Amino acid sequence: MGTIVVVGSSNADLVIKAPRLPKPGETVTSGAFFRARGGKGANQAVAAARAGGQVVLIAALGLDALGDDAIDGFEAEGIDTAQVRRIADVPSGVALIMVDAAGQNAIAVAEGANALLTARDIRACEPVIAAADVLVVQLEIPLEAVTEAVGIAHQHGRQVILNPAPACRLPDQLLSRISVLTPNASETELLTGLAPDDAAALDRAADALLARGIGAAVITLGVSGAFVVTRDRRETVTAWPVTPEDTTGAGDVFTGALAVALAEGTPLIDASRFANAAAALSVTRRGAQPSAPRRHEIIGLIDGRGPA
């Protein structure tokens, strides 16, 4: 079993599934409401734990009921929460999510305690990061915390996965320390200035990412699968045909499952197939963390048995 350290955000997701997403100034009725645990870091930690990894989470939560609920959820999944900072007088993060009938979503986030995770907090966790097989980071926490975590992992020779979401511009010094980048199409466009909307554009975007020093990339393309890019190989991993219920968190499930496979020593192409199967299962279910599949389900899909 590989050890994965996830440094990232934790939110409470307040979700409305509506017939369609509202336009600016418009109210759409006939929606169904539910609450789920979320946040990109938390989602990836849960996805990795369910996929078979031994997971440690480094995050910040408010000293409030939402934070208590998040901790309860992590511990129920077997995730080590000893490095989760609790902050008084600051709310835990909250995401307001709308999902339409086709499974597409629109999300607004109030960062709360997530915005207070500091580089100093990360430095205090150096022994934990140094002992990991894989470090996973995203961008819903301050960039200084991400940079510190990546620097520590790089110093100790650990593999680093960066899911560059929410999309923002990133320095080459940070990207040059990333083992595997997992952007979607829009994040790829922001990082390279190239929309990967056909095979030729994908190749150009891949060249641009590698030129920035990234070790490898897996560009997730939804129903078109995932494009795996290394210095000596490029290959498309085909998507599993499923009917989407809710795409929220699919990229996080992909990244968490990918981390598990890489921590176990699986080659990147095969690890991407494992992650693609996990993400496919996740979009057939509602919610971010609740949708993450168990390891036996992922293997069952890959082996042609369907979810076990």
The secondary structure of 71-140 as a DSSP string is HHHHHHTT-B-TTEEEETTSPPEEEEEEE-TTS-EEEEEE-GGGGG--HHHHHTTHHHHHT-SEEEE-SS
Which domains are seen in the chain, by residue range? 3-10+39-92+111-302 (3.40.1190.20)
Helix (H, G, I), strand (E, B) or coil at 255: helix
Given the residues 100, 246, 252, 303, select the one marked as catalytic: 252
Q: Would residue 252 show up in a list of annotated catalytic residues for this protein?
A: yes
Nearest to 49 by CA among 19, 5, 14: 5
* pLDDT score at 306: 55
**Token digits of residue 151:** 């620097």
**Token digits of residue 214:** 């990234």
Helix (H, G, I), strand (E, B) or coil at 223: helix
Q: Which residue has the tokens 């995401």?
A: 95
Give the β-pairing of 226-229 and 216-220. Answer: antiparallel
* pLDDT score at 308: 43
* Mean pLDDT of each 10-residue bin along the chain, 308 residues long: 94 92 92 90 98 98 96 97 97 92 87 97 98 97 98 98 94 96 95 91 94 96 92 91 84 97 97 96 87 95 70
Residue 276 φ/ψ, nearest 5 degrees: -65, -40
Nearest to 8 by CA among 291, 288, 301, 290: 288
